Amino acid sequence: MKSLYKSKFLLLGMVALSLQSCFVAKEYKRPENIIPEQNLYRTDALPQDSLNMAEVSWKEMFTDPVLESYIERGLQNNLDVRIAIQQIIAAEAYVKQGKAGFLPTLGVTGQVTHQELSKNSQLGSFLNGTSDQFEVTGNLSWEADIWGKIRSNKRAFEATYLQSVAAHQAIKTRLIANIATNYYQLLALDEQKRITETTIETRQKGLETTQALKEAGNVTEVGVKQTEAQLYTAKSILIDINNEIRLLENSLSILLGEAPQNIQRGILDDQEITTDLEVGVPMQLLKNRPDLIAAEYNLVNAFELTNVARSSFYPSLRLTATGGFQSIDIDKLFSVNSLFATLVGSLTEPIFNGRKIRTQYEVAQSQKEQAALNFEKSLLNAGKEVSDALYNYKASTDKIDVKSLEYQAYSDATGYSEELLKNGYANYLEVLTARQNALSSQLDLVNARFNQLKSVVDLYRALGGGWR
């Protein structure tokens, strides 16, 4: 009898193995031509070789010790970073579940059954109208991974875990860039505040001079009022700058994972980024940019789930064993005569199930295509961000040169016009115009210096720097 059972299970296994040749879970391969052949970065400003500034640690990238301390605090306390860590922990639990899919399931059940039987029935008359049964049962079940379903599920969980790790790295990259940008913007606002305060002092003295010139008959009351209006304009600019500083300090505090507070900082003139601007080649984005890494793992996950959906079309082989102790007397429950066991082998092939399997497969295929398109879209967007940062860096660098010359010209014009006015050779409107243009040009020059620093930070983030 035992040899007969063995032959049946052997035959069942041979049938399953013969069907396996019809289907094997496919292996993931990165889509071909995912990197466009044209220049993804659209720039000739920098040579593209194997050197890449993204591989430089943020501690080497940013040399201001105050900024470094803020980045360190942000990486430790930022709430988005901490949320991402919890997502990694959750994904890791699913990975462990996927690995356990190859193991059999085991459950133990204790049960007591009491029945009130009809005394006029055959069984009731024999048992005097009542029946008690005590039972301890163990259930063991195992499914053979013939079609790679369990393996594909395991790989899908692993891809989700690695995607969560990459997402955590992407958050760190964005966080570092945002902290550095906000810090540099605060320094720029501090410089603009200093310039505006100096301008207010100068215009206050200018107002006194204008009033003296009016008394001397060199200017009219209109000139006095225009000078007074320029003083109020500078004070209004100072109010806006102070407000921007407070709002930016609040934003930076949140990035640090702390309550809004005063932010200690250095000065704009001391800021210098000495790292060479090396962009590398486009293919390096796939290993440096965490968001691209996450997008590809999302594609891997969708690909493996397609394998899982496809395997549902094929029969499943399951072995089930049930055994334990069963007795009508509790004191005899664990005796040898109370033992029982059942072994079942089943091969189940779905035929009609309301099109659920077909729908599941078609949805999985569609989601895989969506993931592939999102992967390609993320890559193209990454190339655009690199290109944008390069153009912004060049534009801001050129603008610094031009604005420096412009400010010098307006500054000279202001000095000349004031001397001419004192000697009665210039119109006071020329003095007012020169002063206003000089202030605007000086504030624009500070903005250009900030944009240059910001474009370097943007390039560093766009290339995938910061998470190492």
pLDDT at 2 over 80: no
**Please, which pLDDT band fits residue 381 given cuts at 50, 70 and 90?**
very high
The number of beta carbons lying within 10 Å of the beta carbon of residue 403 is 20
pLDDT at 5 over 60: no
pLDDT at 8 over 60: no
**Please, which pLDDT band fits residue 36 given cuts at 50, 70 and 90?**
low
Pair 193, 238: CB distance under 8 Å: yes
By DSSP bridging, strand 105-116 and strand 316-327 are unpaired
The domain in which residue 292 lies consists of: 2-102+146-314+349-462
Query: Residue range 122-126: average pLDDT?
Result: 67
Report the CATH number at residue 156: 1.20.1600.10
Q: Is 340 a member of any domain?
A: no
Domain total for the chain?
1
Q: Is 95 a member of any domain?
A: yes
Distance between alpha carbon 42 and the CA centroid of its chain, in Å? 25
By DSSP bridging, strand 339-348 and strand 105-116 are unpaired
Angle in degrees, 0-180, between the axes of helices 221-255 and 149-215, rounded to the nearest 10: 160
Lowest mean pLDDT among 116-125, 346-355, 373-382, 390-399: 116-125
Pair 465, 385: CB distance under 8 Å: no
316 forms beta bridges with 348
Q: Is 89 exposed, middle or buried (0-12, 13-18, 19+ CB in 10 A)?
A: exposed
Q: Is 40 a member of any domain?
A: yes
Q: Is 247 exposed, middle or buried (0-12, 13-18, 19+ CB in 10 A)?
A: exposed
**Please, which pLDDT band fits residue 276 given cuts at 50, 70 and 90?**
confident
Pair 294, 166: CB distance under 8 Å: yes
Mean per-residue pLDDT of the chain: 87
pLDDT at 123 over 80: no
Higher pLDDT, 348 or 42: 348
Q: Is 10 a member of any domain?
A: yes
Q: Is 341 a member of any domain?
A: no
Q: Is 320 a member of any domain?
A: no
At 427 the pLDDT is 65
Q: Is 76 a member of any domain?
A: yes
Cα–Cα distance measured from residue 210 to residue 405, given in angstroms and rounded to the nearest whole number? 29
Lowest mean pLDDT among 193-197, 238-242, 276-280, 304-308: 276-280
At 10 the pLDDT is 52
The pTM of the full predicted model, rounded to 2 decimals, is 0.86
Pair 142, 105: CB distance under 8 Å: yes
**Please, which pLDDT band fits residue 20 given cuts at 50, 70 and 90?**
very low
Tens-digit pLDDT profile for residues 209-227: 888 878 877 778 887 888 8
Tens-digit pLDDT profile for residues 154-192: 999 999 999 999 999 999 999 999 999 999 999 999 999
At 424 the pLDDT is 66
Q: Is 114 a member of any domain?
A: no
pLDDT at 21 over 50: no
Query: Residue range 265-289: average pLDDT?
Result: 87
